[in-house]
Amino acid sequence: MAEGRTPGWQFGRTSAFESHRVVVSSEDHSLFEHEGHETSSFALLRYDISAHDSGNALSIVATYPFSAMALSMALIDDSTGDVIELELTSSLEGDKETSPVLSLENDMASYIEVPALEAGQYTLEIALQRSLFLPTSHHATCLGFDLVVEYVTRNPRGHDPATYEVISVRPLTLEAIKASEEKVIEVDFDRPVVLDDLVGGLADRSYVCSLYAKDDGSVIHPRSARQEREDRTLRLDFDFSKASPSPAGRCYTLKCSTKDTKDTEKIQPMQEETSYCFESTQDLVHDAVAHCNPNAFPKLDHEHGHCVCAEPYTGSDCEKCEAGFKAEKEAHGSDDKEHTVCVIDHEHVTAVVCNSHGKPKSSGGWTSIKHVTCDCHEGYGGKYCDYCKDPTHAFPDCTANISASIYDPDAMHHFLSRKKYNEHGYSTAAA
């Protein structure tokens, strides 16, 4: 098709929703042309949009993996050539404290929101950087993203000005969510939200919009909800690992209401059909093999899908090591990927294992602290150099000078406040 133009959507007097997968090939040369000339910078996709009536809401959302691509969007008025709306971007991942991991899942959204679109003819223009299409000598390069277009008809005459209307939800659907994941859902309203209209206090923010199970109505509240984009958007941050009961194997729908926070309804019923479905327990068990470090002999927390690691492995995917061990990367035969192997850190393990009074013996392949034995300094004994060989000496100093002052019943030595003498020396029990 000339210049990448694609038949788009004609919107009438009823709401409409469409979702499809867009795949762009480097061999489609029409995508790299503009007004008959080749463009060296972008691949351009154009969709025709027709709106019969004014005042209705239009939402266009493209989701894609941030690690693989990026795109920009513009909505253009055909009658004037003016750009009436440019895309905004938002992460669909939760507000993690840990460093992000590159993923091929759709974790980024670019979107256009028009709360009240005027009747007319429009063009949706989507631009992909040409540099993303890595050239190969034998094969075409393809990039893909999911595109959702939603048109919501509104009835201003019957609209109570004291209530809010939800005009868009991002994302509308999610499939195969892990019960250990963190996700963000954004809700756009028809105008800036005055929080006092929705909640009785700041603590009630997390109860305005929540996920409700389709089978029994159990609820998952977001761990936080904050306003963004001139207060029109409510950003809901969910940590599904904290949900009880576990959402594994269940599907939820998003509902926004103020009946529980203000005793009266201030939000109109949502027209959007939402669905958020989680992997089953069986899927999670299988997934443990895929995302937990096999060197850690992982088991799975069936309720939330967490990796349960054997010592000394730790972390959400068992790819980290406890203190006293260092992480080395080795390929594992189960998936031919590199995974962490925890080995004893001989340079830094002394203080951890041998109480700073000895050095660990050669590891010999040990992978657990409990297998380590120490060569202790003179005067110290025990597997971990944790007591004095001379029972009349006080640990941790194990010297005669310190012991002499302790034997003085009138001496006020600081060890007496935390050590108790017995036949084996000084224990760690308080006196």
**Cβ neighbours of residue 7 closer than 8 Å, sequence gap 6 or more:** 47, 48
Confidence of residue 416 (pLDDT cuts 50, 70, 90): very low
- The CA distance from 228 to 189, in Å, is 11
Confidence of residue 406 (pLDDT cuts 50, 70, 90): very low
Q: What is the pLDDT of residue 419?
A: 39
Residues of the chain within CATH 2.60.40.1220 domain(s) are 158-279
- Specify which residues 336 forms β-bridges with: none
Q: Are 314 and 292 in contact (CB under 8 A)?
A: no
Lowest-pLDDT choice from 72-86, 94-108, 210-224: 94-108
> In angstroms, what CA-CA distances link 421 with 83, 139, 355, 408, 415?
83, 78, 20, 13, 10
Q: What is the pLDDT of residue 41?
A: 72
Lowest-pLDDT choice from 89-103, 198-212, 254-268: 89-103
Can you tell me the mean pLDDT for 36-62? Answer: 81
- Specify which residues 275 forms β-bridges with: 173
Reply yes or no on whether the pLDDT at 273 is more than 80: yes
Is the bond preceding 171 in cis, omega lying within 30 degrees of 0? Answer: yes
Strands of the sheet containing 5-11, edge to edge, are 5-11, 42-51, 120-129, 71-77, 83-86
Confidence of residue 360 (pLDDT cuts 50, 70, 90): confident
Identify the residue whose tokens are 């010999």: 364
Kindly state the percentage of the chain with pLDDT values over 90: 10
Q: What is the pLDDT of residue 276?
A: 93
First-residue to last-residue Cα distance in the chain: 87
Can you tell me the mean pLDDT for 389-402? Answer: 75
- The CA distance from 379 to 213, in Å, is 65
Q: Are 360 and 350 in contact (CB under 8 A)?
A: yes
Confidence of residue 334 (pLDDT cuts 50, 70, 90): low
Q: What is the pLDDT of residue 310?
A: 78
Can you tell me the mean pLDDT for 316-338? Answer: 79
Q: Which of 107-121, 149-163, 284-298 has the highest mean pLDDT?
A: 107-121
Confidence of residue 417 (pLDDT cuts 50, 70, 90): very low
Lowest-pLDDT choice from 90-94, 150-154, 272-276, 396-400: 90-94
Which CATH number among 3.40.30.10, 2.60.120.380, 3.20.20.10, 2.40.10.10 corresponds to the domain 1-154? 2.60.120.380
Q: What is the pLDDT of residue 40?
A: 57
Lowest-pLDDT choice from 73-77, 374-378, 395-399: 395-399
Q: What is the pLDDT of residue 65?
A: 82
- The CA distance from 152 to 277, in Å, is 24
What are the b/e assignments for 331-366, b being 16+ CB within 10 Å? eeeeeeeebbbbbbbeeebbebbbbebbebeeeeeb
Q: pLDDT tens digits for 362-373?
A: 655 565 666 777
pLDDT greater at residue 129 or residue 125:
125
Identify the residue whose tokens are 């959402």: 247
pLDDT greater at residue 147 or residue 96:
147
Confidence of residue 23 (pLDDT cuts 50, 70, 90): confident
Can you tell me the mean pLDDT for 168-197? Answer: 85
Q: What is the pLDDT of residue 252?
A: 95
Reply yes or no on whether the pLDDT at 126 is more than 50: yes
Residues of the chain within CATH 2.60.120.380 domain(s) are 1-154
> In angstroms, what CA-CA distances link 331 with 290, 315, 371?
14, 19, 25
Confidence of residue 193 (pLDDT cuts 50, 70, 90): confident
Confidence of residue 210 (pLDDT cuts 50, 70, 90): very high
- The CA distance from 60 to 104, in Å, is 22
Confidence of residue 285 (pLDDT cuts 50, 70, 90): low
* Mean of pLDDT over the chain: 76
Can you tell me the mean pLDDT for 250-258? Answer: 92
Which CATH number among 3.30.200.20, 3.40.50.720, 2.60.40.10, 2.60.40.1220 corresponds to the domain 158-279? 2.60.40.1220
Q: What is the pLDDT of residue 220?
A: 94
Reply yes or no on whether the pLDDT at 219 is more than 90: yes
- Specify which residues 126 forms β-bridges with: 45, 73
Confidence of residue 337 (pLDDT cuts 50, 70, 90): confident
